[in-house]
Amino acid sequence: MEQLPTQESAQLKLRQSLISEEIAPRDFIDALFDLDQSTPSRTDAITNLSILEEPTVMEMLTTADTKSEYFNLLSITHFHIGQLSAESDNQLALIHFEAALKAANLIDLADFTDWERYIEATVAYFKLDMQSLQIFASQIQEQRNREVAENLLLGLKERGSIDYNTDYAK
């Protein structure tokens, strides 16, 4: 009986297709993003990050044509790892959220300001900085992300401590 490929092997096949130039960089980014989005738990972000940070892959994806898309995917990937890390290690989560923000700051497209504010709000939450969190939350235009940021703020006000999964899920 033939075994279905695992998600990780799909990611590694994509990587190999990029390295061998069988797939265009933009198509690789789109396909890796689709794999990330296909699992609600976002656990594939860990493998995605290891691929995205490989020097050869970085070199191929940070050209003028795909630089912003690369940094967007890198930002999303770090953000998802931050979310996964928040289950057990707030310091590690903060490291990944800050890396997500650093990557987002390298996106050279005008319509990513909202994403940056959302990440900044999340970083402020993990730093227990209610004043900054309130400012960033008020600047987020996208409704769901604004609601999440407001829930993070409410959770800090209620408890005075971080409980990301509880506050995120409100």
pLDDT of residue 6: 54
Residues 99 and 26 in one domain: yes
Q: Are residues 91 and 104 in the same domain?
A: yes
pLDDT on residue 78: 98
10-residue block means of pLDDT along the chain (170 residues)?
55 95 97 92 92 97 95 97 97 98 89 92 98 97 96 97 95
Helices (H), the chain: 7-19, 25-37, 45-52, 55-61, 67-85, 90-104, 113-126, 130-139, 143-159, 164-168
Same domain, 79 and 142: no
CA dist 144 and 160 (Å) reads: 23
Same domain for 21 and 98: yes
* Same-domain check for residues 168 and 104: no
CA dihedral 164, 134, 45, 92 (to 10 degrees): -60
Q: Do 101 and 117 fall into the same domain?
A: no
Whether residues 91 and 9 share a domain: the answer is yes
Q: What is the pLDDT of residues 27-49, one digit of tens each?
A: 999 999 999 998 888 899 999 99
Same domain flag for 37 and 79: yes
Q: What pLDDT, on the 0 to 100 scale, is given for residue 3?
A: 41
Look at residues 108, 128, 159 and tell me which one is the last residue of a structural domain.
108
pLDDT of residue 8: 62
Residue that finishes a domain, picked among 85, 108, 131: 108
Is the domain of 27 the same as that of 104? yes
Q: What is the dihedral of CA 101, 105, 110, 114, to 10 degrees?
A: 20
Task: Show the domain range for 1.
Answer: 1-108
Query: For helices 143-159 and 113-126, what crossing angle results, to 10°?
Result: 10
Q: Are residues 22 and 89 both part of a single domain?
A: yes
Which of 64, 85, 108 marks a domain boundary? 108
Residues 130 and 98 in one domain: no
The pLDDT value given to residue 130: 97
Here the tokens at position 37 are: 């989005």
Domain check: are 103 and 147 in the same one? no
Please tell me the total count of domains within the chain.
2
Where does residue 115 rank: exposed (0-12), middle (13-18), buried (19+ CB within 10 A)? buried
pLDDT in tens, 62-73: 999 999 999 999
Per-residue pLDDT, 77: 98
